[in-house]
Amino acid sequence: MATESNREDYLTHLAQICSNCTRCELHRGRTRSVFSDGNPHARLMIVGEGPGQNEDEIGVPFVGKAGQLLTRMLNAVGFDRQQDTYIANVVKCRPPGNRTPTQAEMAACFPYLKRQIQAVQPLILVLTGATAVKGVLADPRPISRIRGEWILRQNIWCMATFHPSYLLRNESKEKGSPKWLAWQDFKEIRRKYEELTHLSSPTQ
């Protein structure tokens, strides 16, 4: 098994490769590639779609308004974003005009995300939005149908939920609304995290 520093060195190396990558057309419009944020040793990994304007400028995923909402939701269920999570996107370069990445772009970039998942070895993978679900699970179901459901893939518990940018466009918090449903998802993610980290703790 890789040592802790090996893991960080490997991911740093992968990030450098991404910053020079020309595997798809998205490299043409990027200011910088956006590889990850958070802790490579976290047990909870979050996957989004791709960088927006703020992320493209700063080089960190989920830093715009949607990212700030994600951080607040994580905090609300007791996670520290930097300490408890590792965050990455399906594509590392910004699609023009924030359009959805094409299937070809997602396929070109997926080897990076796959290696990130293999290196981090999370217990839980949270997939925010339909693109993350398609990119990682290859499940064609709409996000409204698949969200909230645990899917075990290669020994990792995967949960789809709404992308925070979708939640920003849907203000209602009434029962059954996207925000209310996402809140149920995050509470369930916390419950599962407690269950799995308890089981995997060497002191238990």
Q: How far apart are CA 13 and CA 138, in angstroms?
A: 27
Interface with ligand SF4 includes 91 (CB under 6 A)? yes
Residue 109 binds ligand SF4 (CB under 6 A): yes
The closest alpha carbon to 90, from 66, 120, 117, 57, belongs to 117
Q: Tokens 């995050």 identify what position? A: 186
Contact status: 130 vs ligand SF4 (CB under 6 A): no
| Smallest gap from residue 67 Cβ to ligand SF4 (A) | 18
Which of 41-49, 73-81, 101-109, 131-139 is the region at the interface with ligand SF4 (rule: CB under 6 A)? 101-109
Residue closer to ligand SF4 (CB basis): 22 or 83: 22
Among 156, 125, 119, 153, residue whose Cα is nearest residue 1: 119
Q: From the list 81, 92, 134, 163, which residue makes contact with ligand SF4 (rule: CB under 6 A)?
A: 92
Cα–Cα distance, 69 to 141 (Å, whole number)? 25
* The residue to which tokens 């979050």 are assigned: 46
Point out which span in 14-22, 36-44, 68-76, 132-140 binds ligand SF4 (CB under 6 A).
Answer: 14-22
Residues 6+ apart with CB under 8 A from 158: 124, 125, 126, 127, 136, 137, 150, 151, 152
Q: Choose one: 38-46, 87-95, 128-136, 195-203; the region binding ligand SF4 (CB under 6 A).
A: 87-95
93 sits near ligand SF4 (criterion: CB under 6 A): yes
- Footprint on residues 18-77 left by ligand SF4 (CB under 6 A): 18, 21-24, 26-27, 33
Closest CA to 143 of 161, 165, 157: 161
Binding site for ligand SF4 (CB under 6 A): 18, 21-24, 26-27, 33, 91-93, 105, 108-109
